[in-house]
A and B are shown apart, each in its own frame.
Chain A
Amino acid sequence: MISVSVQHRFAGFDLDVAFEAPPGVTVLFGPSGSGKTTLVNTVAGLLRPDHGRIVAGDWVLLDTAARRCVPPHRRRLGYVFQEGRLFPHLTVRQNLLYGRWFAPRGAAAPGLPHVVDLLGLGGLMDRRPGALSGGEKQRVAIGRALLAAPKLILADEPLAALDEARKAEILPYFERLRDEVAVPILYVSHSSAEVARLATTVVALRAGRVTAVGPPGRVLGDVAAMGVRGAASVLTARVVAHHADGLSELATAGGRLWLPLVADAPGSRLRVRIAAQDVILSRARPEGLSALNILAGTITDVRPGQGPGAMVVLAVGEDRLTARLTRRSAEAMGLATGQSCHAILKTVAVAPEDVGTGARALDTRPLDQMVR
């Protein structure tokens, strides 16, 4: 549980934010200039706001009303920066163990071998940061944060400086962190694909204000927070089988879903992000279509937009699937809340970055037991 309330006035920019989030990964999501990094630096104590109260679990980091401001080095954090910020004069091993030096004796920290194993750092231990690739640096930075025995992990766009291949390499490590480590994570991102894959809770920010808070399925479908072109849904699915023609078969609450081959083994749970503008609706179950995916659902909301568009929300089991169509179609089809409806998705519209491993029920064991 993390609770943040911060007001700070800059020249030409006001930050006024308040939200509460359950354990897990809380993603601060928004375009650049929305105040994400400022907010995460405030939580880190690198910036002291005019007014604010920040609590992680039962650990009060800041309470300006009570004149309490814990200095950054006593906040027990693990901060993964966008540019790694490894110490250039220390080896990878020394970088990894830096935070442990200052952690209180007996703090619940994972062992070095386990972190090295988790992040695949085995061959790098005696190198210096100058001799590492971007992806390797970022993995070391994640390990360094974990080994500091943090009570809260902060990550400020840790993938932004990496190319697509390196992103695909690092993102699964954050998914493992979310699923295997009980420490809450505050993660800054402007990528809705990252949000869909990682977030337990999304805090959408715009111009220093919170525009929406909630689980990713809800916030990503929120037109006010995402804009009409950015709106998307998150479907949970289970891998059933991989087929020889390069497709994976997944089961969702609304029926079979065929995707370009995914890496996860049959049985694993996935999250799939589907852009609202890639969804076609049909009242009757269509036949003779090239699209493979036809999911059955029930309309829960029809929202005409300002322009010619409309957003239609379908309940598919527990998930919400948002479709963006023209108001003309919505009216012609007579779409209304409570009707059953079919959603049609093109298999090839789902990119690999839109598919991530699903969060299991959150583990609340302490960090040391988790990783050991």
Chain B
Amino acid sequence: MEGWSNWLGPAEWQAVRLSLRVSLVATLASLPLGILAAYALARWSFWGKALLNGLVHLPLILPPVVTGYLLLLTFGRRGAVGEVLDQFGIVLSFRWTGAALAAAVMAFPLMVRAIRLALEAVDPRLEAAASTLGASPVWVFVTVTLPLILPGVVAGSILAFAKAMGEFGATITFVSNIPGQTQTIPSAIYAFLQVPGGEQAAGRLVIVSVALAMGALLLSELLARRVARRVAGA
């Protein structure tokens, strides 16, 4: 353990710790909204559904720099939302919370997609059966829908977490690259590569990145397979 912690330098450790914190907060904070958006897209029909679908998926297609700049325009201290938040003492730009917001926005489409697929695999007739047995819509969701989509929710969260760990373009545009404050693993790799002799530190962070991403993908694949089995009732 001692050798392991010495393997990474203090600046590198700082970047790893910050990345983990940013990604965890981004994932957990966006999860309720992700379930709601997935439910709305999978089950409801309403005016502007295509617009919501587009909005959710936009960060997947837009250049990350554009997303980051739009975040800066909206949530910066002079931005429409940022100005209001500023009055409550909440500042996002150039803070780790801003990095979490950028990561959450970029990871949101992946999370919603995984949860939506799990929702679409749930037989609505099971939910109808629950309602005839006396369960109100909220109880139907809690006792039938949520348990059946749970593996999908976990898989989506893991994907979102991995995506957040790797977010670079939107983050560096929105909150810059401040060590200890907003310098996540990708930003740190970029910074190391800008200075002579930084390749070794960058290389170590690359290994950490690849290991985390691969682990997350394998785990989410495993859980996705369990969704199918669970819904089939084995």
B129 touches A88 (CB 8 A): no
- When the two chains form the complex, which single residue of B132, B231, B232 contacts A44, counting CB atoms closer than 8 Å? B132
Partner of B134 from A46, A76, A128, A129 at Cβ < 8 Å: A76
Contact of A72 (CB < 8 Å), options: B123, B126, B131, B139: B131
CB neighbors of B among A14-60 (8 A): 44-46
Q: Which of A72, A74, A131 contacts B128 (CB 8 A)?
A: A72
In the complex, which residues 92-138 of chain B have their Cβ closer than 8 Å to any Cβ of chain A?
Answer: 123, 125-126, 128-137
**A173 interface contact, C-beta 8 A:** no
Minimum CB–CB distance for B127 against chain A, Å: 10
Evaluate contact between A99 and B133: CB separation under 8 angstroms.
yes
Q: How far is the CA of A75 from the CA of B137 in the complex (A)?
A: 14
B125 and A87: CB pair below 8 A?
no
Q: Is the CB of A87 within 8 A of B144?
A: yes
Whether A88 contacts B233 by the Cβ 8 Å rule is yes
Q: Which residues of A contact B129 (CB under 8 A)?
A: 79, 81, 85, 87
| Cβ–Cβ contact B233 & A129, under 8 A | yes
Partner of B130, one of A74, A83, A87: A87
* B148 is an interface residue with CB less than 8 A from chain A: yes
Cα(A29)–Cα(B148), bound, Å: 35
> What is the interface of chain B mostly: helix, strand, loop, or mixed?
helix
Q: For residue B123, which residue of chain A has the nearest CB?
A: A85
A98 surroundings in chain B (CB, below 8 A):
130, 133, 135, 143
Q: How far is the CA of A29 from the CA of B74 in the complex (A)?
A: 63
What A residues does B233 contact at CB under 8 A? 86, 88-89, 128-130
> Does B49 lie at the interface of the complex (its beta carbon under 8 Å from any beta carbon of A)?
no
Q: State how many angstroms separate the Cβ of A250 from the closest Cβ of chain B.
A: 40
Q: How long is the Cα–Cα vector from A23 to B96 in the complex, in angstroms?
A: 69
Mind listing 26 A-B residue pairs with CB under 8 Å? A46-B131, A46-B132, A72-B132, A73-B131, A73-B132, A73-B133, A73-B135, A74-B134, A77-B133, A78-B132, A78-B133, A79-B129, A85-B129, A87-B126, A87-B129, A88-B148, A88-B232, A88-B234, A89-B233, A98-B130, A99-B134, A101-B135, A102-B133, A130-B234, A131-B234, A148-B134
Binding site for A on B (CB under 8 A): 123, 125-126, 128-137, 139-140, 143-144, 147-148, 230-234
